[in-house]
């Protein structure tokens, strides 16, 4: 029987320490410093065709291509692959790899057209590549794009297990670029559900699991029909229906909610976000929060918490966007701050 997860395993003492992403080894603040240091060194820019149309730091990089802009993203699956190894099931991480790239393209209004992958291996195992390919194929089909190449590297001195990443190419007309400059106070926010944890925050997820006393192979305490590992391997949702919203609605801003949770909204606008009616987080988030003793603020600064993608648009189009995507109106744009009900994120 499915039920809400309210407590840890019977007799299990939940950690008194409130775990954070930084405790698990990923300090978002330090990561941002590293990224800024790297970007500061990237001063050369091409002129003419291929010249950058935006600075580094948005969801996708845009290049001048006549009346069109070409859009590029690159991303990987991250430490979620370690759970795939534990479960000996690799047929979903290819979907994750494509989703993380495609969703970033969609967040600037671009349509994906092509993908290349990079698979780094410690060693080759029978059946492994077929499962990776199965997920990549599924992700490409959902995204309506071609996989046109890639690279496989055997690196036993560097890689323990495997790593999977990729790069995605998209395009859009220049006048249709959505960077967030049109976002204004009073715009509505439509939240689209995630399929769970997606592909971010897994360093913290794994630390919580280590301390919980649970195994990835144990049945979920909130749904005995699947294991905890199965739920954590649920692939990232690909929000390709955003392209339909762009055809039907006046969209001012788009956001793919990934690592660092709602803090990523600063990529879209410096205005504020008031989530007065957020989507309900899936049970997996409640389980992780309880077992790790993670406070609400840290959860929303690390995970998508049930909202994997956001659309910002005028009130007149909000209901239509919600209908197209299966989402709902979760809030509005305000002058400043990021708030989820009474919780101040920033």
pLDDT at position 130: 97
Point out the domain boundary residue: 133, 157, 176: 176
pLDDT at position 32: 67
Instruction: Check whether residue 193 and residue 158 sit in a common domain.
Output: no
Instruction: Check whether residue 103 and residue 167 sit in a common domain.
Output: yes
C-alpha 194/C-alpha 306 separation (Å) is 5
C-alpha 153/C-alpha 211 separation (Å) is 34
Instruction: Check whether residue 162 and residue 205 sit in a common domain.
Output: no
Domains of the chain: total: 2
Pairing relationship of beta strands 146-154 and 111-121 according to DSSP bridges: parallel
Q: What predicted TM-score, i.e. pTM, was given to this entire model?
A: 0.90
Instruction: Check whether residue 54 and residue 90 sit in a common domain.
Output: yes
Range of the domain at 301: 187-344
Q: Does residue 241 fall inside a structural domain? A: yes
Q: State yes or no: pLDDT of 9 exceeds 80.
A: no
Q: State yes or no: pLDDT of 65 exceeds 60.
A: yes
The 3-class SS string of 26-93 reads: CCHHHHHHHHHHHHHCCCCCCCCCCCECCCCCCCCEEEEECCEEEEEEEEECCCHHHHHHHHCCCCCH
Instruction: Report yes or no: 63 and 52 within 8 Å, Cβ to Cβ.
Output: yes
The token duo for 303 is 């995970």
Instruction: Check whether residue 129 and residue 242 sit in a common domain.
Output: no
pLDDT at position 97: 98
Instruction: Check whether residue 244 and residue 209 sit in a common domain.
Output: yes
What percent of the chain lies above the pLDDT cut of 90?
A: 82
Q: State yes or no: pLDDT of 13 exceeds 50.
A: no
Q: Model confidence over 92-110: pLDDT tens digits?
A: 999 999 999 999 999 999 9
Q: Does residue 7 fall inside a structural domain? A: no
Instruction: Check whether residue 221 and residue 288 sit in a common domain.
Output: yes
- Contacts of residue 104, defined as CB under 8 A and 6 or more positions apart, other chains included, come to 59, 60, 73, 75, 168, 256
Q: Name the DSSP letter for residue 10.
A: T
Q: Does residue 125 fall inside a structural domain? A: yes
Instruction: Report yes or no: 278 and 345 within 8 Å, Cβ to Cβ.
Output: no
Point out the domain boundary residue: 128, 143, 176: 176
- The total of other beta-carbon atoms located within 10 Å of residue 31's CB is 14
Residue 194's closest CA among 221, 234, 223?
234
Query: CA 341 from chain center: how many Å?
Result: 22
Q: What is the mean pLDDT of residues 172-192?
A: 97
CATH of the domain at 312: 3.90.650.10
Q: Model confidence over 260-303: pLDDT tens digits?
A: 889 989 999 999 999 999 999 999 999 999 999 999 999 999 99
Q: State yes or no: pLDDT of 174 exceeds 90.
A: yes
Instruction: Check whether residue 171 and residue 267 sit in a common domain.
Output: no
Lowest pLDDT segment from 38-42, 150-154, 164-168, 271-275 = 38-42
CATH of the domain at 162: 3.30.1330.10
How many alpha carbons lie under 13 Å from residue 229 in its C-beta half-sphere?
A: 17
Instruction: Check whether residue 135 and residue 251 sit in a common domain.
Output: no
Instruction: Check whether residue 133 and residue 205 sit in a common domain.
Output: no
Instruction: Check whether residue 131 and residue 54 sit in a common domain.
Output: yes
What percent of the chain lies above the pLDDT cut of 70?
A: 93
pLDDT at position 294: 96
C-alpha 265/C-alpha 175 separation (Å) is 22
pLDDT at position 296: 95
User: Given CA atoms 285, 286, 289, 290 in this order, what sign does their dihedral have?
Assistant: negative
* Element containing residue 344 per DSSP (H, E): strand 343-344
Q: Does residue 1 fall inside a structural domain? A: no
Q: Does residue 150 fall inside a structural domain? A: yes
Q: What is the mean pLDDT of residues 183-210?
A: 97
**Which residues in 202-211 are b (16+ Cβ under 10 Å) and which e?**
bbbbbbbbee
Q: Model confidence over 199-219: pLDDT tens digits?
A: 999 999 999 999 999 999 999
Instruction: Check whether residue 88 and residue 195 sit in a common domain.
Output: no
């Amino acid at each position: 029987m499915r039920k809400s997860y309210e407590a840890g395993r019977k007799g299990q003492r939940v950690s008194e320490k409130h775990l954070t992403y930084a405790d698990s080894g990923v300090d978002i603040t330090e990561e941002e410093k590293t990224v800024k240091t790297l970007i500061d060194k990237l001063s050369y820019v091409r002129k003419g065709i291929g010249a950058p149309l935006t600075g580094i730091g948005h969801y996708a990089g845009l290049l001048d291509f006549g009346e069109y802009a070409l859009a590029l993203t690159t991303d990987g699956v991250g430490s979620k692959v370690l759970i795939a190894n534990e479960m000996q099931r690799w047929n979903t991480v290819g979907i994750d790899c494509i989703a993380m790239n495609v969703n970033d393209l969609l967040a600037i209004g671009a349509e994906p057209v092509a993908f290349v992958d990079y698979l780094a291996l410690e060693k080759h195992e029978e059946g492994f590549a077929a499962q990776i390919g199965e997920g990549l194929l599924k992700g490409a089909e959902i995204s309506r794009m071609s996989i046109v190449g890639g690279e496989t590297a055997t690196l036993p001195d560097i890689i323990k297990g495997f790593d999977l990443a990729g790069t995605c190419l998209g395009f859009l007309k220049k006048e249709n670029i959505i960077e967030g400059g049109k976002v204004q106070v009073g715009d509505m926010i439509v939240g689209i559900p995630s399929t769970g944890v997606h592909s971010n925050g897994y360093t913290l997820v794994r630390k919580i699991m280590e301390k919980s006393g649970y195994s990835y192979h144990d049945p979920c305490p909130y749904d005995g029909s699947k294991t905890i590992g199965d739920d954590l391997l649920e692939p990232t949702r690909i929000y390709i229906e955003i392209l339909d919203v762009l055809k039907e609605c006046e969209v001012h801003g788009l956001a793919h909610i990934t690592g660092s949770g709602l803090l990523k909204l600063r990529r879209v606008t410096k205005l504020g976000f008031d989530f007065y009616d957020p989507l309900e987080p899936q049970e997996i988030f409640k389980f992780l929060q309880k077992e790790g003793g993670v406070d609400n603020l840290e959860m929303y600064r690390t995970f998508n918490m049930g909202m994997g993608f956001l659309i910002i648009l005028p009130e007149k189009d909000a209901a239509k966007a919600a209908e197209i995507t299966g989402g709902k109106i979760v809030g509005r744009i305000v002058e400043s701050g990021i708030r989820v009900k009474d919780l101040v994120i920033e």
